[in-house]
Chain A
Amino acid sequence: MDDHLTPAEERDALAAELALGLLEGQARADALRLSLSDPEFAALVAAWEAKLAPLHGEWADAQPGDAVWDGIERQLVDAPADKVTAIETRLRRWRAGALVSGAVAAALAFVLVTQPVPAPMPAAPQLAVARIESDAAGPLVLARYDQSSGLMQLRIHGFKPGALAPELWVIPEGGAPVSLGQIGHAGKAEMTMPPPHRLLMTEGATLAITMEPVSKTPHSAPSGLAVASGKIITI
């Protein structure tokens, strides 16, 4: 059916559909991707959530079982003693995952390393940078990527340690998000990108971070909206 909506109306209707949760499958994945890579679209989605918010006054209460709180409490993670420990713990988890099987190892987008990677550095590195940030005074990640060596360096600020871990995504212009794996909550990290992922690190692509359940392997799609994002700029 032809609705004769203008492009702006189409976009607003899509934001409303995502806010209401009407979409499924590929359409839902596409809309989630757009909300990750396009802050203006994400704002439209938030505006629809706000418009519909008075309906939240109508839910009927129901009592959950007593075990629910115990389950929540078990999953709360206190702030780790120091940032380096957090990254090392994560590194060990990732390596453990990589050793499970060749398939799992192949699925790993990259492995976080705490030691500098002894990559051959050419005389004139081609650099790409991105400032991955939220609109509020939230988390901030600075990314520096050397295209000649495939080395990505991150400075990570402002994530609260907990059961959900920041997961880094690269979103090519007009493409689907590809997970680069989970990162620490704070501090520095370095990683060497495998060749297929290097092709995605181009000018105009977006780096975004979502909070995801801790996983040894990168997720296939984000489960929520980006907490921070930024465009890649080549220098």
Chain B
Amino acid sequence: MQWPSSADEARTRLVAALTAVGRGDRAALRQVYDMTAAKLFGICLRICGERASAEDVLQTVYIKVWERAGQFDATRASPITWLSTIARNGAIDWRRSVAGRAVRDTLPEQAAFAVADDSLRADQSLVAAEEGERLHHCLDELEGRTRASIRAAFFDGATYAELAARENVPLGTMKSWIRRGLLRLKDCLGDG
């Protein structure tokens, strides 16, 4: 699938396709899939840590998109954010499930983290750049380990217990870091 040169045009096409999915248009779902599957699979793979499970989760994600597209409101959320949130929540649901925990127990230590921070890239084509700068500025204001832990929670789907083990601090300390960090982040973003 070739991207149109303009990010606005891509967004407009995605909104139109999602709107059509909301009316029960299967061909439009295929269009949404072609435009977004690589991104959403990236999310599932990073959080699940393993291809087969990530592909299972990706299927349920697009079924949810099919079910919920009628609720998508382009005036309230960007389409790629809306889709990414469904994918991330689906992958985290899997990670917290009995099956997810069983599969992850068989993975090598740190396998999920090994999906590589250095492969992260700033794909701003569909995400508003300005809001991104503000969030990154506010994250940079936080203490280093707090910032790293919040990022690991977001990108790896790590729990408090996993983060505490990773930073080698008591669970209560990790909770305190993150809760205070999140409330400081909110103050910094300043939009209530």
Contacts and interface: CB of A to CB of B under 8 A. Distances in A.
The finding on whether chains A and B are genuine partners in a shared complex, rather than unrelated, reads yes
Interface of A: 1, 3, 5, 9, 12-13, 16-17, 20-24, 28, 48-65, 67-69, 71-73, 75-76, 78-79, 134, 136, 138, 160, 162-164, 211, 213, 223-224, 227
B89 A21 contact: yes
A75 B120 contact: no
A46 B33 CA distance: 24
26 contacts: A1-B175, A3-B176, A16-B182, A17-B178, A21-B92, A22-B159, A50-B81, A51-B135, A51-B189, A52-B135, A54-B136, A55-B154, A56-B84, A56-B85, A56-B88, A56-B127, A58-B155, A59-B39, A59-B43, A59-B84, A60-B115, A62-B38, A64-B37, A72-B59, A75-B63, A134-B71
A53 B70 contact: no
Interface in B62-105: 62-64, 66-68, 70-71, 73, 77-78, 80-81, 84-85, 88-89, 92-93, 95-96
Nearest to B68: A211
Contact of A58 (B73, B80, B120): B120
B183 A12 contact: yes
Contact of A59 (B42, B67, B157, B158): B42
Contacts of B178: 17, 22
Contact of A53 (B64, B92, B131): B131
A76 B26 contact: yes
A203 B115 CA distance: 50
A86 to B, nearest CB: 14
B182 A163 contact: no
Given A57-B123, A61-B38, A52 B96 contact: no
A12 B189 CA distance: 14
Please report whether the interface of chain B is mostly helix, strand, loop or mixed according to DSSP: helix
Interface string B123-152: 110111001101110000000000000110
A162 B63 contact: yes
A170 to B, nearest CB: 22
Interface of B: 24, 26, 29-30, 33, 37-39, 41-43, 45-46, 51, 54-55, 58-60, 62-64, 66-68, 70-71, 73, 77-78, 80-81, 84-85, 88-89, 92-93, 95-96, 115-116, 119-124, 126-128, 131-132, 134-136, 150-151, 153-155, 157-161, 163, 172-173, 175-176, 178-180, 182-183, 185-186, 189, 191
Contact of B46 (A48, A59, A71, A79): A59
| Those 5 A-B pairs whose CB atoms lie nearest each other, nearest first | A54-B132, A57-B127, A21-B92, A56-B84, A61-B38
A60 B85 contact: no
B60 to A, nearest CB: 8
A24 B159 contact: yes
Nearest to A165: B67
A22 to B, nearest CB: 5
Contacts of A23: 159-160
Nearest to B96: A24
Nearest to A65: B55
Given A28-B96, A62-B42, A76-B29, A163 B63 contact: yes
B58 A224 contact: no
B123 A59 contact: yes
Nearest to A55: B154
B124 A57 contact: yes
Given A23-B159, A23-B160, A58-B121, A53 B85 contact: yes
